[in-house]
């Protein structure tokens, strides 16, 4: 079987704020597909910001428990965009270095860690340094 990941649901509590945050950070407008869903095409995989209450669901959103990783061409630019958009830069250490700073991690990736305004954990990695196990 050959499967392709085509959509990832990202829980948010305010779809308008989420659309604005991710449009700023990803530098793409995305598309509103329902009152509670705003989709961003990340090179064929859809990042689906989902506000369940705006779509009529009764359950409040819960942030993802694990990190979501993005490969970007210009890590410095993305870092600045995260600062301007109001991301919370992670404090403390992760993988032997300051989480919220741009650093080379032990396996060679250059990255930084933040949380979006809804508590989702994000890591941005310089595309040229991504490690895929090959």
Mean pLDDT, rounded, for 22-40: 98
pLDDT over threshold 90, residue 99? no
Higher-confidence residue of 2 and 97: namely 2
Taking the domains of the chain in order of start, what are their residue ranges?
A: 1-59, 63-134
CATH fold match for the domains 1-59 and 63-134: yes
Hey, what CATH topology would domain 1-59 get? 3.30.720
Q: What are phi and psi of 50, to 5 degrees?
A: -135, 115
Q: Which CATH number fits domain 63-134: 2.40.50.140, 3.40.50.2020, 3.30.720.110, 3.30.70.520?
A: 3.30.720.110
pTM of the shown model:
0.93
- Spell out a b/e string for 50-65, using b for 16 or more CB atoms within 10 Å of the CB, else e: bbbebeeeeeebeebe
């Amino acid at each position: 079987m050959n499967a392709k990941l085509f959509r990832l649901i990202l829980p948010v509590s305010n779809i308008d704020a989420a659309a604005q945050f991710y449009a700023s950070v990803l530098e793409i407008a995305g598309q509103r597909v329902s009152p509670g869903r705003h989709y961003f095409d990340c090179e064929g995989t859809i990042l689906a910001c989902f506000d369940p209450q705006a779509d009529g669901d009764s359950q409040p959103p819960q942030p993802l428990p694990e990190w979501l990783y993005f490969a970007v061409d210009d890590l410095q630019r993305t870092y600045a965009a995260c600062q301007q958009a109001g991301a919370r830069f992670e404090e403390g250490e992760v993988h032997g270095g300051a989480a919220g700073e741009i650093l080379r991690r032990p396996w060679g990736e250059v990255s930084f860690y933040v949380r979006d305004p809804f508590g989702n954990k994000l890591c941005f990695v310089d595309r040229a340094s991504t490690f895929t196990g090959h």
